[in-house]
Chain A
Amino acid sequence: MVNEAQTGAIAESDKAAANRKMLIQQIIRTLGMLPILILLGIGFQLMSGRFFSPNNISIVTQQAAINTVLACGMTAVILTGGIDLSVGSILAASAMVAVLGSLIPDAGMLGIPFALGIGLLFGLINGALVAFVRLPPFISTLGSLTAVRGVARLLGGDTTVFNSSLPFAFIGNGSIFHIPWLVIIAFLSVIATWLILRRTVLGVHIYATGGNENAARLAGIKVWAVYLFVYGFSGLMAGLGGAMSAARLFAANGTQLGQSYELDAIAAVILGGTSFVGGVGSVWGTLIGALIIAVLSNGLVLVGVSDIWQYIIKGLVIIVAVALDRFRSSGSART
């Protein structure tokens, strides 16, 4: 038999090394995709020479703003193991309502609550389908993706609606202290989402439901309320995105607006390291994911890559980034 003291010493040094390794891994996991975002930024700066100009940074963050807002809601949904495919359509319907509301004489600001309200309403319908009718999230939101798109077209009589004197146009075009309102709203959305997910009872219940629905039910968590909330929240965020979009464009079009936005939002969440089966992830990762997507779009234009190649490169970057992430944290990754 081996000398006890000797094995003890070996175990101690092994443990110290293992602990160091774990600490490094933890740091890597916390940073997530941030290094990739920074590398992309540096790369585009080297190739174009103007990526990091204040003007361009402002453009990139504004480009990222609406997707970030949608992805905040999507993070909550995916944390429960679900998916919300309808956010692009809800955004279009909300933007229509925002512009139509803004045309009300002397009360044009009502466009904003209208947009938020209709987003929340559609979101709650999705939530009810998942929570009470027990439809799989993919199917119920696939249905609303199509149906709400129809509603968006119906709202404007299948035309583009305009308001050149939109009372809340400052949201889309103004800024305070040189920071665009769009960026401020997106950042506040991230903070609010983080607060909900990490600092409230509801947040604990969201992670618990996504991690183990059976155990959550047995522990007395109202799982139906969690589903209703996350889809409602996602709808609300899409409504906010609709108002932001209307404010930026002074117009809305039910057919084109928000097409395939849901895919960018999902990509941001996945790039951010949130597990597709639920229970693991953070909204800060989502923010970085949304920025990576915006940086790619912007940078590829700066460098002069053609539209077709932009698609191909964006898709590949998403696949490679997530594959790298899985490789890096192999064993614990469950995307």
Chain B
Amino acid sequence: MSSTSNLQRVLSAGHFAVTGEVGPPTGADAQALKAKADILRGCCDAYNVTDNQTAVVRMSSIAASAILLAEGLEPVMQMVCRDRNRIAIQSDILGAAALGIRNCLCLSGDHQSFGAAGKLHGHPGAKNVYDIDSVQLLSIIRDLRDKSLQQGGDSVTVAPDMLIGAAWTPLGDPIDFRVIRLAKKVAAGAQFIQTQSIFEVSRFAEQMKLVRNEGLHEKVAILAGIIVPKSAGMLRYMNKNVAGVTVPDELIERMDQASDRKEEGLKVTVELIEQVKAIEGVRGVHIQAIEAEHLIPEIVKRADLLPRPASGEAS
């Protein structure tokens, strides 16, 4: 088992990184994860494992990450502040590191009222925790790792080896604060960033210019978020309902008029990857194909991002 993060090696070697996403099943179903692992193996450097995303109960990100690891895929374990206080979080970080998990993405978490955007019941009556926020979570894991110190001041016997990352919504409101918000996460210890999905590349490029002005692109590896469009309806829904995401009308129209929507979605995705790759300071992509993970290998191939640097070779 590798003792260092493969994602970290790929980034340090200067490769353009590729991460994907694996949503854990809504059941105690290891087989579902193994099936996804078989589809995705070899096409990304690491795979995000969501933590009860949209506030719907799924297999825990720590367990699902361990299953992926056993399948030979490197997980990026997501951890949200909604469900755990600092005691539980630090305990889970130690456990995850002991299991060989080497990447953690620190998030605030979707509010419990979400319930899969109304598609499921969820648990809107749940009590949220928010003992700490995502910026504080970053600093807590950094101090566990670098100082062997818990947040309360006690020491840990073996520090967790963990690459830590954060999310960034570059085009979210209030827009004037977004680069400052990124700077706060970098100051708290973020080593990589995965952005909210980008459809307006030129506006994202403007934000990246501000990022470069602050020199943040040299302190943190920014991976641009790419969502694979499946239909015009999906894009309209995202445009209307997902905070921080605006989809240009031309793109919606293009998907609307496509005779082969799947093919058009793949083309759009590859174009978006090429466009964000050209922006200075973008050091990788985070590709999400929601409920369509099987498309990722083809996308990565068409974007000419294969083969991925083999584990252990990059350094």
- Whether both chains belong to one complex is answered with no
